[in-house]
Structure 1
Amino acid sequence: MKHLLKILFITLFIISCKNGGENSPEPSEAQDEIAYVSFGEKIQADQALAAKEMNEKFKDLTPGDSVQVKMTSKVNSVCQTKGCWMRLDLGNEEEVMVKFKDYGFFMPKNIAGQEVIIDGTAFVDEMTVEEQKHYAQDAGKSEEEIAAITEPKRTYTFVADGVLLKEE
């Protein structure tokens, strides 16, 4: 009976050691993970279009069209008053103006140059002179730059439900 209990104990010990190793992540997998800070709704980092791909999508849209999409890009500028909007680089000197769904969250004001992933609705808009001047003022532009705005402008706009900011 003693020998049977010893054999059973040793067998259980060996099995438990074997199973424990299978559930442990590989060290290389953990190092490849990219850390993000989340704003707004929780979103995943996967299947995001690159900025250049999104630029092509915008070119196919006309005012009034919209598309639900996830994209990744570099931040060019952020509202310096509250962090209530940001402009992202689309390549070829194009930008997309990003606002946040229901004014429900804001971004840090010091993230220019950092990478973000945004998920939400993209559309083409025509921005009035008054709106352009307001955003230029929020961005800290000079009085001369603001006064130079005299015509409506076709813009690429995005209303983000959620944003992931790559931690640096």
Structure 2
Amino acid sequence: MKNIARFIAIALVLAACQQKAQENQETASSTQKDEVSNAEATLNYYGEKISPEGAIKSEDLLAALEGKDSIAVKLTSQILSTCKVKGCWMKVNLAENSDMRVTFKDYGFFVPKEGMEGKETIIEGYATQIETDVATLKHYAKDAGKTQEEIDAITEPKREVAFVAKGVIIK
């Protein structure tokens, strides 16, 4: 009878320990999920949901484009401005003293019109070397809220890198 009582006592202690270990594991798992959720909560996704992994720095884009008309790429950069009318494009820092206009695949999504300047962004899509005509440059200037004097000063097309993003993350 004493052996049975000892056996039951040991079984109860082991069961209690196992339950406590499981609770600790669930708490740790929940904490890890919360940390991941909090990290993702600081990211805002637009268009297709993309991941930040594998993005190159914007300064490296010109070297990657060398000798090519266009490339599929994911890059990280800083937002300089966004379209003030709809959020249908944004300008990002490309390299020292240069920028790049980012538009969105099939005009299918937009970014916020205000408050994005200086934020870090990750974009995935296609970078292309293009020549933008005067009418389009004037349209972009108007969307950016430029003065009529600044718009009228645009008289020549511009050779530049354009980007069509399928997905955007703004931190």
**Residue type matched to 1:140 in 2?**
G
Change (3 A) 1:61 1:81: farther
Structure 2 SS opposite 1:157: strand
Distance in 2 between residues matched to 1:56 and 1:19, nearest whole Å: 52
What is the CA RMSD across the aligned residues, in angstroms?
2.3
Unaligned runs of 5+ in 1: none
Structure 2 SS opposite 1:151: coil
Aligned counterpart for 1:83 among listed residues 87, 105, 126:
87
- The aligned residue for residue 66 of structure 1 is 70
- The aligned residue for residue 46 of structure 2 is 39
TM-score (norm 1): 0.85
Structure 1 SS opposite 2:56: coil
Deviation at 1:19, TM superposition (A): 4.5
Deviation at 1:33, TM superposition (A): 3.5
Distance in 1 between residues matched to 2:135 and 2:67, nearest whole Å: 24
Aligned counterpart for 2:122 among listed residues 97, 101, 117:
117
1:61–1:124 Cα contact (<8 Å) kept: no
- The aligned residue for residue 100 of structure 1 is 104
Structure 1 SS opposite 2:122: strand
Matched, 1:150 2:158: no
Unaligned runs of 5+ in 2: none
- The aligned residue for residue 140 of structure 1 is 145
Distance in 1 between residues matched to 2:162 and 2:7, nearest whole Å: 73
Structure 2 SS opposite 1:72: strand
TM-score (norm 2): 0.84
Structure 2 SS opposite 1:122: strand
**How many residues are aligned here?**
162
**Residue type matched to 1:17 in 2?**
K
Q: Which runs of 4+ in 1 moved over 6 A?
A: none
Change (3 A) 1:135 1:70: same
Structure 2 SS opposite 1:87: strand
Change (3 A) 1:126 1:44: same
Change (3 A) 1:100 1:13: same
**Residue type matched to 1:114 in 2?**
K
Largest Rg, 1 or 2: 2
- The aligned residue for residue 5 of structure 1 is 8
1:61–1:123 Cα contact (<8 Å) kept: no
Q: Which protein has the bigger helix share?
A: 2
**Residue type matched to 1:43 in 2?**
I
- The aligned residue for residue 49 of structure 1 is 56
**Residue type matched to 2:78 in 1?**
K
The worse-fitting range, judged by mean Cα deviation, of 9-18 and 147-156 is: 9-18
- The aligned residue for residue 17 of structure 2 is 14
